[in-house]
Each structure stands twice: as structure tokens, then as C-alpha cells.
């Protein structure tokens, strides 16, 4: 046997092992050794990069959402005569849009149960405070709520601009023909509706789009 296959080895039990099998066995044992620090660093780096990518993606999604929300507050430019609207205010006085000719009027259609209506009210109040002396006013026309609820809302939000009651939904269904709340319209000093908002109004949008109309023909 040794003359024909010199590479064979025989142990004390008479079993035969090929040298290649020994090499394979040694290789298998080497593979089970613990990974070195340099080899462990690779998956750690990859994991860290994955976290960074997730954070960047979350930031971009948040930023895009913010831009989309801000875009939703941009008004539509329109051009039509202001409709005739005559309603009672919260003091029981009958008022008409025609009385405000010569002023810039933001008509805000809203309801007490409407979250974006609630959210925009402090912004509208602050803008009114700053520009009322310049011939600007806000008329907040409530869309069908009980009078007691409207009075409480007016008190809670400390509204000082006119609030009108519309129990029959005339302003939304007939005059301005909208089913969305809040919806706002800006009427210039000549009685022409120039802007229409659907949804809440931001202060930046008020500054950008309403102030130029206030500054016209003062």
C-alpha cells in the first residue's frame, strides 16, 4: 500500500485518512475562530450608515410635509363682485357686507366644531389688531352653530372683530357657494372678491397676500 499510495497514512486503528481531508478539517476549524476587531467594524459601520439614511429620510419627509401644508394655505386669485349678505351679529344687530365698502374685508366662514377654524383664529385676531386702523376688518360668519356656542367661542378666543350668526347656512350654501370650513374670501375696497382660501390661513400667507391689497388706494 505504501508503495502504491505513498500519501496515505494509517493510524493505530488501521483507518486511512487522505491528506486533503486533513486540510479541509483544519480549514473548517479556522473558520470557527472569533472575528477580528477589523472584521467586526464593517457591519457596525454599515449599521451606522443605515441609521443616518433613516434619519435623513425622516427629515426630508417631514420637510416635504411642512411645505405641502404651507402650500395648502396659498389663496386662489379670483375676481367677482362680493355677494349681498345680511345677517345678525352676536350683539343682535343686523349687518350687511355693503356697509363695509371702502374697507378691505376678510370674510371667514367657520364653525365651533372645526379644528382648523380654531387653529387659525388667534392668527386672524393678531392680524386684525395690527391692520384694523388701516381700513381692514374681518367678519367671521358662523356656519349654523347654536348662538350660545358661538358666544362662548367668541369669549374663549377673545375675538374683537365682528362675528355674525348664520343659522340657515346662507353664506356657505348660497352667497359664497362652498361646503368647506374654514373658507375665507378677501374683498377689496371696491367690493370685488380678490382672494379665496380653502383651509386654515397662516400668518405668512396673510402678510404676503392681504397686505398688498390693504396698501392699495388708501
CATH code assigned at 131 = 3.40.30.10
As a whole number of angstroms, the distance between CA 205 and CA 213 comes to 13
Whether residue 42 is contained in a domain is answered as no
Whether residue 208 is contained in a domain is answered as yes
Whether residue 25 is contained in a domain is answered as no
Whether residue 64 is contained in a domain is answered as no
Whether residue 12 is contained in a domain is answered as no
Q: What are 18-34's pLDDT values in tens digits?
A: 444 444 444 444 444 55
Question: Domain range for residue 202?
Answer: 75-215
Whether residue 95 is contained in a domain is answered as yes
Whether residue 20 is contained in a domain is answered as no
First-to-last alpha carbon distance for the chain, in angstroms, is: 118
pLDDT-derived band of residue 106, with 50, 70 and 90 as boundaries? very high
**Contact (Cβ atoms closer than 8 angstroms) between residue 106 and residue 184:** yes
Q: What are 39-62's pLDDT values in tens digits?
A: 656 666 777 777 766 765 555 544
- What is the dihedral sign for C-alpha 21, 23, 29, 31? negative
Whether residue 32 is contained in a domain is answered as no
pTM above 0.75, yes or no: no
Which residues, at least 6 apart from 169, have a Cβ–Cβ distance to it below 8 Å?
A: 143, 144
Look at the chain and report how many structural domains it folds into. 1
Amino acid at each position: 500500500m505504501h508503495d502504491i499510495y505513498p500519501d496515505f497514512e494509517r493510524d493505530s486503528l488501521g483507518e486511512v485518512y487522505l491528506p486533503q481531508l486533513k486540510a479541509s478539517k483544519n480549514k473548517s476549524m479556522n473558520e470557527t475562530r472569533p472575528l477580528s476587531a477589523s472584521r467586526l467594524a464593517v457591519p457596525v459601520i454599515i449599521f451606522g450608515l443605515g441609521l443616518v439614511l433613516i434619519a435623513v429620510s425622516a427629515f426630508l419627509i417631514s420637510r416635504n410635509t411642512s411645505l405641502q401644508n404651507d402650500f395648502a394655505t396659498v389663496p386662489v386669485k379670483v375676481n367677482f363682485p362680493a355677494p349681498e349678505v345680511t345677517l345678525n351679529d352676536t350683539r343682535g344687530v343686523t349687518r350687511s357686507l355693503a356697509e363695509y365698502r371702502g374697507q378691505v374685508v376678510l370674510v371667514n366662514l367657520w364653525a365651533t366644531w372645526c379644528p382648523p377654524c380654531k387653529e387659525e383664529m388667534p392668527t386672524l385676531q393678531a392680524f386684525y389688531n395690527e391692520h384694523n386702523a388701516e381700513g381692514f376688518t374681518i367678519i367671521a360668519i358662523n356656519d349654523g352653530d347654536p348662538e350660545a356656542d358661538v358666544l362662548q367661542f367668541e369669549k374663549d378666543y377673545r375675538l374683537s372683530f365682528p362675528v355674525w350668526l348664520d343659522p340657515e347656512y346662507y353664506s356657505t350654501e348660497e352667497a359664497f357657494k362652498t361646503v368647506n370650513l374654514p373658507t375665507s374670501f378677501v374683498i377689496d375696497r371696491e367690493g370685488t372678491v380678490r382672494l379665496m382660501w380653502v383651509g386654515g390661513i397662516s400668518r405668512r400667507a396673510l402678510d404676503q397676500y392681504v397686505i398688498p391689497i390693504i396698501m392699495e388706494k388708501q
